[in-house]
Structure 1
Amino acid sequence: MEIHVPLEDGYLPDEFGKYSTEMLAGHPVRSFPIEIKDAPTDAKTFALVFIDFDSTPVCGFTWIHWLAANIPATFATLPADASRSMRGEFVQGKNSNAGGLVNGDPQITEGYVGPQPPDKDHVYTLTVYALDGDLPLKNGYWLNEFLHAAKGHVMAKAKVDLPSRV
């Protein structure tokens, strides 16, 4: 399985990160397009996890930017802004703004919040999972709930690193 996200000059385009013109509560909310190729033909759904391991020295933990699951396998291409424009087509989990240590604005605790590297360029990791069916998750699930629910249902997975500029 392979995933593709368009980059500009080796970086995630500005419209999906800290230089976006589409902000909510000070955070970029326009998700980037994703193309999934060569997924297992019998996959029923996809899930995605978009995280920032480079955030650990800054805030003390890996920052979760986007969780989505139960994306129908017929959606092998997610358009830009799918997190908002396709709300209701799949479930979305809590990002790190929902954590008790962050005190994030409730408007931006679920769905996509884009990269905003504070100290230097960060490399963000997108993992897409091909699954054998829907997972028993509801909007607002946590990453650990996804990981537990996905056990035994992952048919394939692929990762891509997406740099974003400071």
Structure 2
Amino acid sequence: MQLTSSAFSPNGVIPVRYTCDGDNVNPPLAIAGVPAAAVSLVLIMDDPDVPKKLRADGMWDHWIVFNIPPDLAKIEEGAEPPGVRGIGTGGNHDYHGPCPPDREHRYFFKLYALDCRLDLPAGATKTRVEAAMAGHILAQAELMGRYDRPRR
């Protein structure tokens, strides 16, 4: 399974447009190679580079969507995918772009193909989504981009 973006290359710099310093809209994403047996997809975007003084676990969850139809081939720029929205660390239910407070951070877009739909309510946390996915992942893909805010 593959997850790519026409806006940035793997390990590349995420353009300002998709961050808190720009329009804060999600980048376009293309999905390929989803297993035929997949029943649903899960999309998680997170940042593992948060200073420990801000969050003890060093993690910030930016975007969580589950029960996405498995035949979805692309997510358009600025468009939420069909599915159920979880809740991000900042209380957001939709995409929340990169906004590192201190230096360049890595942002991981993770896509999972599952053999089931998740029986979770809207607003579920990443921890709950990941626990519900356990034992149901058929395939996964990851796209990492980097961003550092302009220094003022």
CA deviation string 1:77-100 (max 9, x = no partner): 1111222xx5xx3101110113xx
Whether the 8 Å CA contact 2:12–2:144 is kept in 1: the answer is no
Question: Residue 129 of structure 1: CA displacement?
Answer: 0.1
Whether the 8 Å CA contact 1:56–1:63 is kept in 2: the answer is no
Question: Residue 71 of structure 1: CA displacement?
Answer: 0.6
Question: Residue 152 of structure 1: CA displacement?
Answer: 1.9
Counting helix residues as a fraction of each chain, which structure ranks higher? 1
Q: Given the alignment of the two structures, is residue 43 of structure 1 paired with residue 26 of structure 2, yes or no?
A: no
Q: Counterpart in 2 of 1:2?
A: 2
Whether the 8 Å CA contact 1:70–1:135 is kept in 2: the answer is yes
Structure 2 residue aligned with 1:93, among 79, 86, 95?
A: 86
Alignment identity in percent?
Answer: 28
RMSD of aligned Cα (Å): 1.8
Q: What is the aligned residue count?
A: 145
Give, as a single letter, the amino acid of the residue that structure 1 aligns with 2:142.
Answer: K
Aligned mates of 1:147, 1:117 — CA distance in 2: 24
Question: SS at 1:64's partner residue?
Answer: strand
Q: Counterpart in 2 of 1:150?
A: 133
Structure 1 residue aligned with 2:67, among 67, 70, 87?
A: 70
Which sections of structure 1, spanning at least 5 residues, go unmatched?
22-27, 99-108
Q: Given the alignment of the two structures, is residue 20 of structure 1 paired with residue 19 of structure 2, yes or no?
A: no
Moved over 4 A (4+): none
Which sections of structure 2, spanning at least 5 residues, go unmatched?
none
Whether the 8 Å CA contact 2:67–2:83 is kept in 1: the answer is yes
Question: SS at 1:129's partner residue?
Answer: strand
Aligned mates of 2:146, 2:64 — CA distance in 1: 18
Could you tell which deviates more after superposition, 149-158 or 7-16? 7-16
